[in-house]
Structure 1
Amino acid sequence: MPVIVLEAKDFTSPLFLVRTWEVLSTCTAFSLLASLDHSAENWIFRIFCMFSWCFFFTITLLIHILSIIQFHSLIPVSWKNLTMTVAVLGALMTFSTSVIFPWMVMDRDSALSRPVAAAVASCLTFLAYTSESVVLRTQAHEQRGYMATMPGILKIVQLWGGCLIIPLVVAVVSKVPNGVPQWQLWVSAVSYGVCILMSVVTLVVILGDFAGRCLLPFDRFLAGFTLIGVLLYMLATVICFTKILQLNESKHGGMKPQLVIMETVVSSITLLAYTVDLAFSIKLLCDRSRM
């Protein structure tokens, strides 16, 4: 099969330009972070930032190359759902790194230019992925997949919440807080882990176009997963607020309170995403039952 390359006009299209911007800015961000001196403090957030920038640099570069040589039709995935997922998740993850890196990783007492440049590059990356999300969202209806709909975007938000929760839970557990029962930490970790697994399974089914092979109708499959996610995140969010009260009573118990506050905020946002998604699922099931 001959290789088909984009025409000259396609190299000035919004998608081509914004993906080039994403590749350059993510490469700049993780290169600058790799050149910094390693510190034992806040190592989990340094790894989170490095992983986020490296992962999205790699996958965006692959998408960019496949789009240029027009080989994406040979990939056994739903291309329009894949590109939308990467764009929205990339925007959310790089927004997180743009907040976490200056707050938790960058040395506030240092006036070095490289950490500041890395933070700026992360902000530019967030703007790039946000721009791509807008471009993909405004395409013709037949060019948009399920992930460009509101339920699809909510599922990406759910996956983002799970990804961001991981370093927060590890950081909280590593501090071994006093006054916080260990069962609370384990229940939260299991709840988050189950929800992340469900999000990954849902994403694989959608991107692989496996909906027709599910034992249950796909809309019921999604509704069941979403209901479980609502219940588990309700439990995890209640535990988060309980830990905040316990920290106040024990005067932080040797743990940074901002970590617990951040975990509570992310858990609450993810719970909201699951709740709204469940409302969409119930509405869809009710509409189909009337047909």
Structure 2
Amino acid sequence: MPVIVLEARDFASPLFLVRTWEVISTCTTFSLVASLEPSELNKNESHLNTFRIFCMFTWCFFFTVTLLIHILSVIQFHSLIPISWKNLTMTVAVLGALMCLSVSVIFPWIVMVHQNVSPRSVTAAVASCLAFLAYTSEFYVLRAQAQEQRGYMGSMPGLLKILQLWGGCQMIPLVVESGCVPPSEYCWQLWVSCVSYGVCVLTSLVTLMVILGDFAGRCFLPFDRFLAGFSLIGVLLYIVATVICFTKILQMQKSKDLVITETAIACLTLLAYTVDLAFSIKQLCDRSHA
């Protein structure tokens, strides 16, 4: 099968330009951070190392995924991949914007904690912010398309599911760090929180795989009931996790900043699950009356 490449005018399209911007900015960011000397960013402090790894993983992951999407779009091979391309691109754009926003806050915090600001670390922080702007721009470009071109992930329920996945991803480094702080008698709180976040991330990934693979028609349950059930599980588990977070704020005497951050993200994610559950219930009621 011959390779079909975009026409010359397509290389000046907004979508092509913003994806090029994304690739360059993410590549620049992780390259600069990887080249930092130990004196510029202390890699031996475990408190900082977890967040540094999280930032590096985010930049490298989205650079790789965006580059693949960019290449497949140029050679027009995306139609041969057995996934929903419109849902994939929207998911990467929105999740990339949220994740790059997070690491654009975390990385400058790491630098300021180390109290050794260098030109390379400042440039890396700026490049990370540019990556966030690039993914946000792609989201707006995709949202400007017709509704059928955006796919399910471009709708409000789809965006809420991306927000839920983002919230679960933020909990990984926070739980790793805050879990080392509480005394041993409060270990049950850590385990309950880990189970809650883990189950919710797993359900979000399963939902995403079903949507991207167009498996909705093959589910053993109607897809709307499938989504409503996952949303209900998320609401219940995040209620438990949020209560535990508020309890830890009252119990802990130090490192409260991590627990407060965890609590804020848990509340935001709980809100996303609650609104998503309301959308699912409304959809079920509309179909039952149809």
Counterpart CA distance in 2 for 1:80 and 1:152 is 12
* Aligned pair partner of 1:40 in 44, 47, 71: 44
* Aligned pair partner of 1:178 in 155, 175, 183: 183
1:125-136 alignment to 2 at 5 Å? 125-136=131-142
Deviation at 1:215, TM superposition (A): 0.3
Q: Which residue of structure 2 lines up, in the alignment, with residue 83 of structure 1?
A: 89
Q: Which residue of structure 2 lines up, in the alignment, with residue 113 of structure 1?
A: 119
Counterpart CA distance in 2 for 1:245 and 1:146 is 41
1:98-109 alignment to 2 at 5 Å? 98-105=104-111, 107-109=113-115
Q: Which residue of structure 2 lines up, in the alignment, with residue 240 of structure 1?
A: 245
The answer on 1:160 being equivalent to 2:166 is: yes
The answer on 1:286 being equivalent to 2:285 is: yes
Judging changes above 3 Å, is the alpha-carbon distance between structure 1 residues 59 and 117 closer, same or farther for their aligned structure 2 residues?
Answer: same
Q: Is the 8 A contact 2:111 2:121 kept in 1?
A: no
Counterpart CA distance in 1 for 2:55 and 2:173 is 10
Task: Tell me whether 32-41 or 95-104 shows the greater mean CA deviation.
Answer: 32-41
Counterpart CA distance in 1 for 2:33 and 2:278 is 41
Q: Which residue of structure 1 lines up, in the alignment, with residue 77 of structure 2?
A: 71
Q: How many residues align?
A: 284
Judging changes above 3 Å, is the alpha-carbon distance between structure 1 residues 180 and 240 closer, same or farther for their aligned structure 2 residues?
Answer: farther
Q: Is the 8 A contact 1:45 1:105 kept in 2?
A: no
Runs (5+) with no aligned partner, structure 2 = none
Counterpart CA distance in 1 for 2:75 and 2:58 is 26
Question: What letter is aligned with 2:283?
Answer: L
Q: Which residue of structure 1 lines up, in the alignment, with residue 195 of structure 2?
A: 190
Question: What letter is aligned with 1:6?
Answer: L
Counterpart CA distance in 2 for 1:122 and 1:190 is 31
Deviations 1:187-236 (A, max 9, x none): 00000000000000000000000001100000000000000000000000
Deviation at 1:108, TM superposition (A): 4.8
Q: Is the 8 A contact 1:46 1:105 kept in 2?
A: no
Counterpart CA distance in 1 for 2:175 and 2:279 is 29
Deviation at 1:104, TM superposition (A): 2.9
1:205-216 alignment to 2 at 5 Å? 205-216=210-221
Deviations 1:45-99 (A, max 9, x none): 0000000000000000000000000000000100000000000000000000001
Q: Which residue of structure 2 lines up, in the alignment, with residue 5 of structure 1?
A: 5
User: Could you say what secondary structure the match of 2:179 adopts?
Assistant: helix
Question: What letter is aligned with 1:281?
Answer: S
Q: Which residue of structure 1 lines up, in the alignment, with residue 261 of structure 2?
A: 262
Q: Is the 8 A contact 1:180 1:243 kept in 2?
A: no
Deviation at 1:257, TM superposition (A): 1.2
Deviations 1:249-287 (A, max 9, x none): xx32xxx11110110011111001000000000000000
Judging changes above 3 Å, is the alpha-carbon distance between structure 1 residues 261 and 107 closer, same or farther for their aligned structure 2 residues?
Answer: closer
Q: Which residue of structure 1 lines up, in the alignment, with residue 27 of structure 2?
A: 27
Question: What letter is aligned with 2:80?
Answer: L
Judging changes above 3 Å, is the alpha-carbon distance between structure 1 residues 215 and 105 closer, same or farther for their aligned structure 2 residues?
Answer: farther
Deviation at 1:142, TM superposition (A): 2.1
Counterpart CA distance in 2 for 1:21 and 1:45 is 25
Deviation at 1:32, TM superposition (A): 0.8
Counterpart CA distance in 2 for 1:78 and 1:121 is 30
Runs (5+) with no aligned partner, structure 1 = none
Q: Which residue of structure 1 lines up, in the alignment, with residue 209 of structure 2?
A: 204
Counterpart CA distance in 2 for 1:258 and 1:105 is 16
Judging changes above 3 Å, is the alpha-carbon distance between structure 1 residues 239 and 107 closer, same or farther for their aligned structure 2 residues?
Answer: closer
Judging changes above 3 Å, is the alpha-carbon distance between structure 1 residues 290 and 231 closer, same or farther for their aligned structure 2 residues?
Answer: same
Counterpart CA distance in 2 for 1:71 and 1:179 is 54
Q: Please give the TM-score of this superposition, normalised by the length of structure 1.
A: 0.95
The percent identity for this pair of structures is: 74
Q: Is the 8 A contact 1:159 1:199 kept in 2?
A: yes
The answer on 1:221 being equivalent to 2:220 is: no
Q: Is the 8 A contact 1:180 1:246 kept in 2?
A: no
Q: Please give the TM-score of this superposition, normalised by the length of structure 2.
A: 0.96
